[in-house]
Each structure stands twice: as structure tokens, then as C-alpha cells.
Amino acid sequence: MKKIFLPLLFCLTLVSCSSRMVENKDFFYAYDTYVDIKTYQGSAEDIQELRGILETFSKETNNYQTSDINSVSTINGSNSEIPVGDNLYGCLKQADALTQELDTYFSMYIGSLSKIWKETLSTGILPDTTTIDAELTKARNTSLTFDDVNQKVTRTGSGEIDLGAIAKGYALDIAKNHFKNKNISNYIVDAGSSSILLGEKVTDDGLFTIKIKNLSETYIKAKNVCISTSSISEQYKVIDGVRYSHIVSPENGDARPINEAVIVLSEQGALGDALSTSMMMMSTTEVVSIENEFHVKALVIRDRKIEYVNKDIELFH
Amino acid sequence: MDKKKLRNDLLLIVSLLVAAIIALIVILTRKTDKPLVARVYVSDAIVETIDLSDKTERDYTIKGKNGELVIHVHDGKIKVSKSNCPHQDCVNQGEVSDINHPIICAYNEVYIVINGDANYDVEI
Amino acid sequence: MMKESKFNVHKMTVLAILTAGAIVIGILESLIPSIGIPGVKLGLSNIVILVVLYELGIWEALLVSLSRVLIVSLVRGTFLSMGFVMSLSGALLSLGMMILFFLLIRKFSIIGISVIGALFHVFGQIAVAMIYLSTTYVLYYLPIIALSAIITGVIVGVSAQLIINTKVISKQKEKYKF
């Protein structure tokens, strides 16, 4: 009996020791950028599952290419009823609601105008006012009707849907939900530095330290929050001494944001993403009013220094 | 024995001992307030940066030049828990938690060092 | 009449026995785990090297030292590895410095020279480790290793002196004229 007992005990100890935690991470290309997921909890399968969901969502929100599933491109090519998946449906609905609420600052229907400005950034040729006006009219005359029962959307009008300013944020919300379902509280999701989802660190205060690129040696600390950054420092072109970027105003069709970069801390990723884009064209007073309306915190950078920072955001150097 | 030479010996040995002890004290008492990070090098390149401020107990598997080793991190301490090297010097090294104190696995050309200068988790 | 020749069978025999001794010490020593930097050893074989240096000459010491490094590495299976290069570098540097102080800077007794030998032995080993791993982080272990080398050096020096005092080799030298 003794001869079996000890080796058996030994084997059992080995088995219990093997359920150790490893750093689970994944790094993949989606949403036109690299997405980095890191967590010390859960399993590799949990992360793989999330990656699958996010990659699918990336295909769904793509308005440049069609794929095997119904995506924004599909909707942009039709005015009939299109059935879409859960995530895309949710995102379209939220984008539509924000378009109506934020009116002059955010529109999901200026897809073709955005494409024109993207061309400008590489050719250097400014679009003429007639084109811009036509595009704006098109956008204003476009809308979506939602069939909640069958999860179908119908586009009216010829404006192109562009979820670029909200998709990454929405992806963060998908991730947050996924982690919640898996009981994972420690995580970072980093989508190209512009959309970050933070869980909690396993330290006394659980706070992550975040470095702000546009400023020298400036950091903030946060946890359980979404951080959305809009910035012109990476994508812009100077034409006749003026800096043009990829962020287009739905009000006047122009691509000259007032601010250099905006960082928004919000509970909800999609909201934060949309607001950080919109705030690029807002004055400080407007920013504060939006902050209060939507319960978010913002930091505005202009001319490489802080133009405004919410009083609840503590800065470290 | 030549008394003069013996005296020289004593001087030599004492001064060397003193120098070594001072150096030892300097190295052992180096502290830093910054959150610690451990960097894992394989043949001169950093393959992993491990945040030691996060107390989650976890493992990392590193592919070295001639095999694999497993690094175990817990409560700000790091050690090599498994390695395929013949001498197991790195495993015998045990836990390390102070800065600039390396764990070396020559067989796999891996070394792990704790520095105090990773002061952010993510950049925006 | 016995010619005083470099090739003396009795001398060879004595050297062989001493070399064997150095090898055995080297093998046993390699079983002791190194602190921190793999491959750094105490340098106990220096007991033999010192005796040979003092009693038989510089070239003889070199011969014994190199043979020791080579054969221990062959036996342990570390020939041409980083450990071998470390060992070789340590042995050469150590012997070189010991010869320097023994011949030219005659200010120290065998104990002092042993300490110098022990220190440069580990310096040579650490230098090679630094080059192979391309890092200066190994220097973290230098103080503790140096400390142990100094202590080992004293013990080795005293032991070597005791062996010389027994006049075992001097008697052989006298008897067989080498």
C-alpha cells in the first residue's frame, strides 16, 4: 500500500501545481491597427475567443471592403433590409443615437466625405466647396431604420456609413463584457494606443500608469475605465501652411480641428471614442458642457501643451 | 618566512577585503522607489518585460537558445522554476527581488534583470 | 654521468602526478554550484599550480595549468563551451599575474601571490562571461565572488606553503637532479 501511496500523492501535488496562472496575451491586426490584449487571469482560450469576436467585429464595421458577412460595406451598397450580427447592430444603433444627440459634432453618415479627405491627405489637393456641400447634404439626408425584432437595418439615402470614430470604442465595450462574463478583472486592451480598456491591476490601489505621448513626462493613473484618444499628430498634412487631418466636422465638412489631441476617460468605450473625436472641434467651454452632459472626463491638448484638463484627473510627472 | 613580505600580504588582503565588503554593501543597499520591472533577455534581445508591481502569481515560458525555461513571478519576486539546462544554476539561484541582481542561464543565453525604470503600463 | 636535460623522466613523473592532482581537484570543484554566474569556480587547483611554480618553474606551471583546464573540460564534457573559455581565461590570467608578482614584483609571499592569483582567476572568468552574455549585469556578483576568492586565496596559499614545507618535491629534485 505504501509503495503506491507516496507516488500517488506526488502525482496529485503535481496536478494541483499545474493549474498556475500565466500571462495571457494576444496581439493581432484589426480596425486598421494592432490590438494588444493582456491579462493575468483566465485562460488562453478566453483570450482566443475574444480575439475571434473582435476580428469578426472588425470585418463587420469595415466600410472599405466587403467580406463574407454583412458589414457596413454591405449596408452602404444597398437601401434594402440587411440582417446584421449582434455587435454590429448594437454599434449602429448607438452611432445613430449619438449622431442625433451630438448633431454638429458627430455623424456616422459622412463616410464618403471622410474618404475624400483621406485622399487629400495623400495628394495634397483640397476638395472644393461644391463637393463638400454635396457630401454634407447627402449625409444629412441619410438615416437608418432599425428592426429590433429581426435585427435588421435599412438605410435611406445615399450617404455612406462610417463607424471609424466609434468602432474601436465599441470593441472595448465588447471586450469589457467578455471579461465580465469570464470573471476576469485584471486586463488591458490596447487598440493602437487610441482606444484603451483598463481593468484593475493586482496591486494595493489597482491603478495603471498611463503615459501621454503628446506631452513630455506626463502620466495619469486609472483603472476600470476606457481611455479614448483622438489626435492629429499621426495623420495630418500641411497644405498652404494649414494642418489638415482625418477628422471631419459634420457641421461644415472641414478637416481642421481646433485641438491637437483630446483624451477622454469614460465608462463606456463607444461613447468615449465618439466624444474624443467630436471634442477635437470643440472649444473648452463646449468640452466642459459635453463632459457634464455625458459624465466623462477630458484632457485637451493644443500646441503641445495642456489646454484643459478635468479637475478630477490627476497628472503625474 | 620573510616578515616584510608577510606584512605586505596582510596589507594587501585587508585592503582587498575592505574594498570587496564596501562594494557588497553598496550593491545590496541600492533601493529604488519606482515600480519594478523585470526584463528577460535572450541572446542580447529583450523578449519579455514583466511588471513586478502586479502581485498576480504567474508563469512565463521563455524560449532560450538551447531550450525552454519557465519563470515564476509572485509578489514582486522572480525566479526560474524550470529549465532544461544541465547545471540548473539558474534554478538554484532562487528568488530575486532586488534591482540589477541578474539570474543567468548561460546554457540558454538567457538572463533576467530587475530594473526600476518602467514607470508606465501603457502609452496613449 | 647524468646529463642535466630538460627531459627528465623523474621530473615528468612528478609533473604528471601533480597534474593529476590538479585535475582531480578541478573535477571535484566543478561539482560545487557557482554563485550567480555559471562557470565561476573557486580556483582550488591553484594549490598545485603554486607548488609547481615555486618548486619547478614557470613553464612547468603553465604546462600543468593548461593541462588541467583541458582535461577537466574533456572529462566534464564542457570542452569549447563558454565554461571552458571562462576556465582557460581565468587560468591564464591568474597564472600570468602570479608569475608577474613572483618574478618581478617580489613584494609578497606565497599567500599574497595566491590571493592575487585567485582574484585574477575570477576576473578572467567574469570577463569572459560578460563578453559571452554581452552584459555588465554580471558585475553584480563581483563583490561576493571576489570576497570568496580572497578567502580561498589565503587558504590555498597557506596549503601550498605547507606542501612546500614538507619538502616532498625538493627531495625528488635533489635525488633525481631536475
Torsional class of B64: left (φ above 0), alpha (ψ -120 to 50), beta (otherwise): beta
**C33 secondary structure, DSSP code:** P
Of B61, B119, B124, the CB nearest to A193: B124
Torsion of CA B85, B90, B94, B100, to 10 degrees: -160
Question: How many domains is chain C partitioned into structurally?
Answer: 1
pLDDT band at B97; cut points 50, 70, 90 = confident
Count CB-CB contacts under 10 A for residue A134. 14
At what angle are helices A111-123 and A129-140 packed, to 10 degrees? 150
Q: Which helix (H) or strand (E) holds B104?
A: strand B103-105
Any C CB within 8 A of B46 CB: no
| Mean pLDDT confidence for C117-129 | 94
Task: Please indicate, yes or no, if residue C3 is contained in any of the structural domains.
Answer: no
Residue closest to A165 by CA, chosen among A60, A266, A269, A73 = A269
Chains contacting A (3+ CB pairs below 8 angstroms): B
CATH code for the domain in which residue C148 is found? 1.10.1760.20
Largest CA distance in chain B: 72
Chains B and C touch, using 3 or more CB pairs below 8 Å? yes
Per-position pLDDT tens, chain A of length 317: 556 555 555 544 444 444 567 888 888 998 888 999 999 888 889 999 999 999 999 999 998 888 899 999 999 999 999 999 999 999 999 999 999 998 889 999 999 999 999 899 889 899 999 999 999 999 999 999 999 999 999 999 999 999 999 999 999 999 999 999 999 999 999 998 999 999 999 888 999 999 998 888 899 999 999 999 999 887 888 888 888 888 889 988 888 889 999 999 999 999 999 999 999 999 999 999 999 999 999 999 998 899 999 999 999 88
Say yes or no: domain B37-115 is CATH 2.60.320.10: yes
Task: Please indicate, yes or no, if residue C4 is contained in any of the structural domains.
Answer: no
Angle, CA of A257, A260 and A263, to the nearest 5° = 105
Return the C-alpha cell found at C110. 606565497
Single-letter residue type at C141: Y
| Mean pLDDT confidence for C3-21 | 83
Which chain A residue has the Cα nearest residue B60?
Answer: A22
C-alpha distance from C116 to closest chain B C-alpha (Å): 9
pTM for this entry: 0.76
Q: Which helix (H) or strand (E) holds B115?
A: strand B110-115
CA atoms within 13 A on the CB side of B9: 22
Please tell me the predicted confidence (pLDDT) of residue A4: 59
From chain A, pick out residues whose CB is under 8 angstroms from the CB of B50.
23
Residue closest to A198 by CA, chosen among A229, A224, A176 = A224
**Which ipTM score applies to this complex?**
0.82
Q: Which helix (H) or strand (E) holds B114?
A: strand B110-115
Cell 608577474 locates to C100
Count CB-CB contacts under 10 A for residue A64. 14
Count CB-CB contacts under 10 A for residue C28. 12
| Mean pLDDT confidence for B4-22 | 92
Single-letter residue type at C32: I
**Contact status, residue A233 vs residue A214, Cβ threshold 8 Å:** yes
In angstroms, rounded to a whole number, what is the distance separating the alpha carbons of residues A173 and A171?
5
What does the pLDDT look like over C29-59, one tens digit per residue? 988 888 778 888 888 999 999 999 999 999 9
DSSP letters along B29-97, please?
T----SPPEEEEEETTEEEEEEESSS---EEEEEE-SSSEEEEEEETTEEEEEEE--SS-HHHHH--B-
How many CB pairs lie under 8 A apart between chains B and C?
90
Any C CB within 8 A of B93 CB: yes
In angstroms, rounded to a whole number, what is the distance separating the alpha carbons of residues B91 and C64?
34
Please tell me the predicted confidence (pLDDT) of residue B119: 73
pLDDT band at B76; cut points 50, 70, 90 = confident
Structural domain harbouring C35: 9-176
DSSP letters along chain A, please?
-HHHHHHHHHHHHHHHHT---B-EEEEEEETTEEEEEEESSS-HHHHHHHHHHHHHHHHHT-SS---SS--HHHHHT-SSEEE--HHHHHHHHHHHHHHHHHTTS--TT-HHHHHHHHHHHHH-PPPPHHHHHHHHHHHHT-EEEEETTTTEEEEESSPPP--TTTHHHHHHHHHHHHHHHTT----EEEETTTEEEE---SSSS--EEEE-TTSSS-EEEE-SEEEEEEESSSSEEEETTEEEES---TTT-----S-SEEEEEESSHHHHHHHHHHGGG--HHHHHHHHHHHT-EEEEEETTEEEEE-TTPPEE-
CB contact under 8 A, B122 and A210: yes
Any idea which of A229-233, A302-306, B77-81, B118-122 has the lowest mean pLDDT? B118-122
> C32 vs A74, A233, B2, CA distance in Å?
71, 59, 35
CB contact under 8 A, B6 and C109: yes
From chain A, pick out residues whose CB is under 8 angstroms from the CB of B61.
22
Q: Which helix (H) or strand (E) holds C175?
A: helix C168-176
> How would you class A121 by CB atoms within 10 Å of its CB: exposed for 0-12, middle for 13-18, buried for 19 or more?
middle
Return the C-alpha cell found at A39. 491579462
**B28 secondary structure, DSSP code:** H
Say yes or no: domain A24-316 is CATH 3.10.520.10: yes
What are the sequence ranges of the domains in chain A? Answer: 24-316
Listed in sequence order, the residues at least 6 apart from B49 whose beta carbon sits closer than 8 Å to its beta carbon are B37, B38, B39, B40, B118
Of B21, B44, B104, the CB nearest to C134: B44
